[in-house]
A and B are shown apart, each in its own frame.
Chain A
Amino acid sequence: MNFELNEDQQAITESVDRLLAQHAGATRTIELNGHGMYDDALHQLLDESGFSTIARDLASEDGPAGLEAALIVEAVARAGGVVACAAQMLVAPAVQEAAITGPITLCTLDDLKKPVPLRFGAHAKTLLVLGIRDVHVIPLTPEDLKPVRSSFGYPMGRLAKADRFADLNAAGNCLGPNAALAMANWWRLSLAVEAVGTMDAALTHTVGYLKQRRQFGRSIGSFQAIQHRLSLCAIGVEASRWLVREAAYHGAPTEAVAAAAAFTLETADQVFTETHQMSGAIGFTCEFDLHVWSMRLLALRQELGGVGGARRALVEARWGNQP
Chain B
Amino acid sequence: MEFDWSQEDIQHRRDVQAFLKEELPDNWEEMSQHGPGGDSQAQFSRHFCSRMAERGWLTQHWPSEYGGRDCEPWRHSIVGEEMWSVGEPRGSQYMNVNWIGPAIMNYGSEQQKALHLPKISTGQVLWCQGFSEPEAGSDLVALRTRAEKIDNQYVINGSKIWTSYCNHADFIFLLVRTDPSSSRHRGISVLLVPMDTEGIEVREIPSVVGERYFHEVFFTDVTVPTDVLLGEANNGWNVVNYALQFERIGAARYARAAVTLDKLAELARERGMLEDPIVVDRLGEARALCEAARVLVYKVIDIRAKGLPPTADTQLARVLSTTCDNAIGRLALEIFGQESREYASFADTNFRMAMTAGIAVGATEVQLNLIASRFLELPKE
Kindly state whether residue B106 has any CB partner on chain A within 8 Å.
no
Instruction: Report B57 CB to chain A, min CB distance, Å.
Output: 32
B280 at the interface (CB under 8 A from A): no
Complex interface residues of chain B between 116 and 142 (CB less than 8 A to chain A): 132, 135, 137-139, 142
Q: CB-defined interface of A250-277 with B at 8 Å, one 1/0 digit per residue?
A: 0000000000000000000100010011
A281 and B139 contacting across the interface, CB-CB below 8 Å: no
Contact call A149/B139, Cβ cutoff below 8 A? no
Contact among B205, B214, B334, B359 for A306, CB-based, below 8 A: B334
Question: Which B residues lie within 8 Å of A216 (CB)?
Answer: 138-139
Question: On chain A, which size bracket covers the interface?
Answer: 35 or more
Whether B208 and A224, one on each chain, are in contact in the complex, defined by CB atoms closer than 8 angstroms, is no
Report the Cα distance A196→B128, complex, angstroms. Answer: 41
Besides the contacts A149-B343, A284-B208, what 7 more A-B pairs have beta carbons closer than 8 Å?
A114-B338, A117-B341, A226-B365, A277-B364, A281-B214, A291-B208, A302-B333
Tally of contact residues, B, Cβ under 8 A? 42
Question: Given known contacts A225-B365, A280-B363, is B341 in contact with A285 (CB within 8 Å)?
Answer: no
Q: In chain B between 36 and 91, which residues have their CB closer than 8 angstroms to a CB of chain A?
A: none
Residues of chain B lying within 8 A (CB to CB) of residue A150 = 341-343, 348
Chain B, residues 329-351, CB within 8 Å of chain A (1/0): the string is 01001100111111110001001
21 inter-chain pairs at a CB distance below 8 angstroms, sorted by A residue, are A117-B338, A148-B341, A149-B344, A150-B341, A150-B348, A151-B348, A215-B137, A215-B138, A215-B139, A223-B365, A225-B365, A276-B355, A277-B363, A280-B137, A280-B363, A281-B214, A284-B207, A284-B209, A298-B333, A302-B338, A306-B334
In chain A, positions 89-122 with a C-beta closer than 8 Å to chain B are: 111, 114, 116-118
| A216 vs B366: C-alpha distance when bound (angstroms) | 11
Bound complex: CA A217 to CA B207 (Å): 28
In the complex the two chains form, what is the Cα distance from A224 to B278 in whole Å? 35
- Which B residues lie within 8 Å of A299 (CB)? 341
| B359 in complex: contacting residue of A281, A286, A298, CB < 8 Å | A281
Flag if B208 contacts A280 (CB, 8 Å): no
Point out the residues of chain A lying under 8 angstroms from B368, CB to CB.
225
Going nearest first, the 5 A-B pairs with the smallest beta carbon separation are: A116-B338, A149-B343, A215-B139, A117-B341, A286-B206
B341 and A280 contacting across the interface, CB-CB below 8 Å: no
With contacts A215-B137, A277-B359, A285-B205 taken as known, whether A117 is within 8 angstroms of B342 at the C-beta atoms is: yes
Q: A216-B138, A281-B137 are in contact. Are A114 and B339 (CB under 8 A)?
A: yes
Q: Smallest distance from the beta carbon of A158 to chain B beta carbons, Å?
A: 8
Tell me if B197 is interfacial: C-beta within 8 Å of chain A: no
A310 at the binding interface (Cβ < 8 Å):
no
**Shortest Cβ gap from A216 to chain B (Å):** 5
Give Cα A183–Cα B162 distance, bound, in whole angstroms.
Answer: 46
CB nearest to A114 among chain B residues: B339
**Given B206, B333, B381, which contacts A224 in the complex, CB threshold below 8 Å?**
B381
**Residues of chain B lying within 8 A (CB to CB) of residue A148:** 341-343
Q: Decide if A308 is an interface residue (CB 8 Å cutoff).
A: yes
Within 8 A of B (CB), among A268-318: 269, 273, 276-277, 280-281, 283-287, 291, 295, 298-299, 302-303, 306, 308
With A224-B381, A286-B207 as contacts: A280 and B138 at CB distance below 8 Å: yes
A152 at the interface (CB under 8 A from B): yes
Chain A residues positioned under 8 Å from B209 (CB to CB) = 284
Q: Is A195 interfacial (CB-CB < 8 Å)?
A: no
* CB of A191 within 8 Å of the partner chain: no
